[in-house]
């Protein structure tokens, strides 16, 4: 078992089947540079504890530097016999520093505290990349909202026409959800910025090593207060996977609308050619594959989260080898979003809106009935009665096959004397929109204020 991290107490090497099962280099190799950064920091605390002298520290850092260069260039890679990234890099270090010096680095650390630390380092870097990608999608939504400040559309509940809203208001609803996802990543980072290094296998180190010095060098805010928690917990991983799944779900909801809006029946949007795909048999097809892949990949992101949670649920403290299964789901979540976000933001940025059609459809389906009821309330009619009167007007219009504004003054008066011709002031999309002017409403003035608030929060995110 040449170069392995363990073996002296065994009569022979592992069975091939165990070695194959145990191996993780094919997915943990991407942590190699974090492992080397951890080794540098660890070498320095060994020096501070008097376990390396100055010359040994210098030799160790030099060998680690050469190892890192070889890892980056691809000159050094995991070998068939390496179990994991940690073992492989120790082999590489010993090849460069010699066994006398290279063999000193492992003192006071375990792969258990290493892997827990490296995972957090990886996820913190990728959380920043993902946050930038989500913010780019927020920006694309904001730009579309700004480009269409006064366009109305049918606002829906139950997918039925409900009340007219501004297109910008609708788009910004998606932007707020995504902005909260960015804020979640920022908030998550406070919990991720705690280093497990120094926890050892589970019980800490007897060698006088300073975990906070390692933490600071690796960019963490502090070190864990409990070595068992440091090595055995993965809630920080699971929370990352949850935020990724939530981002996936938020992108999926945008995508579902794009898919719907791009249908012949809706004809609300035109996809840019560069974000559409064709058919191998039907020459006319222009398909919303970006949106469909976003919708599909949200399922994959949910799977990454649920798979990880299922791995964690039965684990006693402290480290168990099951925890090796923590990496692929979070790596996959990060990879999936980093692939997806540029495509979704590009699709949104290049959408063409058929605002004339959206505007025309906005008040249809009796979408102004609530405006009639609220107008009556402003005339002093109790809302229960106002709701009834407006409903009666809808019933009459529906039976005649016309819209509310097509009813005659006499017909309105026949329903109730309270329904004077003045009611027509709210029987327009513009009137309806303008009246919903409190904070959070769809009036152009309220949406302008909303846009400013969103921009301020996005700039701070």
Which residues bind to ligand ARG, rule: CB under 6 A? 24, 84, 111-112, 115, 319, 321, 323-324
Catalytic residue among 22, 79, 222, 279: 279
DSSP, collapsed to helix, strand or coil, labels residue 314 as coil
Q: In angstroms, what is the minimal distance from the CB of 232 to ligand ARG?
A: 11
Tokens 């959380």: give the residue: 127
Alpha carbons within 13 A on the beta-carbon side of 100: 2
Q: Which is nearer to ligand ARG, 323 or 373 (CB)?
A: 323
Q: In angstroms, what is the minimal distance from the CB of 53 to ligand ARG?
A: 30
Q: Which is nearer to ligand ARG, 307 or 365 (CB)?
A: 307
Cα-Cα-Cα-Cα dihedral of 61, 62, 63, 67, to 10°? 90
Q: Which is nearer to ligand ARG, 68 or 113 (CB)?
A: 113
The pair of three-digit structure tokens given for residue 367, joined into one six-digit string: 């979408």
Q: In angstroms, what is the minimal distance from the CB of 119 to ligand ARG?
A: 8
Q: Which is nearer to ligand ARG, 195 or 432 (CB)?
A: 195
Is there a catalytic annotation at residue 233?
Answer: no
Q: Do residues 369 and 391 touch, judged by C-beta distance below 8 A?
A: yes
Catalytic residue among 26, 158, 280, 399: 158
Q: Do residues 149 and 123 touch, judged by C-beta distance below 8 A?
A: no
Nearest to 42 by CA among 114, 132, 100: 114
Nearest to 364 by CA among 219, 54, 153: 153
Nearest to 42 by CA among 120, 102, 119: 102
Q: In angstroms, what is the minimal distance from the CB of 216 to ligand ARG?
A: 24
Q: In angstroms, what is the minimal distance from the CB of 251 to ligand ARG?
A: 30
Q: Which is nearer to ligand ARG, 115 or 433 (CB)?
A: 115
Is there a catalytic annotation at residue 279?
Answer: yes
Euclidean distance between CA atoms 367 and 450, whole angstroms: 23
Element (H, E) at 159: none
Q: Which residues are catalytic?
A: 158, 279
């Amino acid at each position: 078992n040449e170069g392995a991290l363990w073996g002296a107490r065994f009569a022979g090497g592992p069975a091939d089947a165990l070695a194959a099962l145990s191996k993780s280099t094919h997915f943990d190799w991407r942590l190699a540079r974090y492992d080397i950064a951890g080794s540098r920091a660890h070498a320095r605390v060994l020096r501070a504890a008097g376990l390396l002298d100055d010359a040994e520290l210098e030799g160790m850092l030099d060998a680690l530097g050469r190892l890192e260069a070889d890892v980056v260039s691809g000159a050094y890679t995991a070998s068939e016999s390496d179990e994991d990234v940690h073992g492989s890099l120790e082999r590489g270090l010993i090849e460069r520093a010699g066994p006398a010096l290279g063999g000193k680095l492992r003192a006071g650390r375990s792969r258990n505290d290493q892997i827990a630390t490296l995972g957090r380092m990886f996820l913190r870097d990728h959380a920043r990349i993902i946050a930038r990608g989500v913010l780019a999608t927020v920006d694309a939504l904001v730009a579309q909202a700004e480009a269409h400040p006064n366009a109305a559309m049918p606002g829906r509940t139950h997918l039925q026409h409900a009340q007219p809203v501004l297109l910008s208001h609708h788009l910004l609803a998606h932007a707020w959800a995504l902005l909260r996802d960015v804020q979640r990543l920022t908030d998550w980072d406070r919990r991720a910025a705690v280093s497990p290094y120094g926890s050892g296998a589970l019980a800490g180190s007897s060698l006088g090593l300073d975990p906070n010095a390692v933490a600071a060098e690796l960019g963490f805010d502090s070190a864990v207060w409990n070595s068992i928690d440091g090595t055995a917990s993965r809630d920080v991983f699971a929370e990352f996977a949850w935020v990724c799944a939530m981002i996936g779900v938020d992108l999926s909801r945008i995508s579902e609308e794009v898919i719907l809006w791009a249908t012949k029946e809706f004809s609300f949007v035109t996809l840019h050619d560069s974000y559409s795909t064709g058919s191998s048999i039907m020459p006319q097809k222009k398909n919303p594959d970006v949106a469909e892949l976003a919708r599909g990949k949200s399922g994959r992101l949910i799977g990454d989260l649920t798979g990880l949670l299922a791995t964690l649920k039965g684990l006693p403290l402290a480290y168990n080898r099951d925890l090796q299964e923590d990496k692929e789901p979070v790596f996959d979540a990060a990879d999936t979003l980093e692939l997806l976000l540029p495509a979704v933001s590009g699709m949104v940025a290049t959408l063409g809106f058929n605002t004339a059609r959206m505007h025309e459809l906005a008040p249809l389906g009796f979408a102004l009935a609530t405006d009639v009821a609220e107008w009556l309330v402003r005339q002093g009619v109790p809302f229960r009665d106002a709701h009834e009167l407006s409903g009666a007007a809808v019933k009459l219009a529906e039976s005649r096959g016309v819209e509310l504004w097509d009813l005659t003054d006499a017909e309105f008066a026949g329903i109730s004397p309270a329904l004077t011709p003045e009611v027509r002031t709210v029987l327009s999309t513009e009137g309806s929109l303008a009246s919903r002017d409190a904070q959070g409403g769809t009036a152009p003035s309220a949406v302008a204020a909303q846009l400013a608030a969103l921009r301020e929060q996005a700039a701070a995110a």
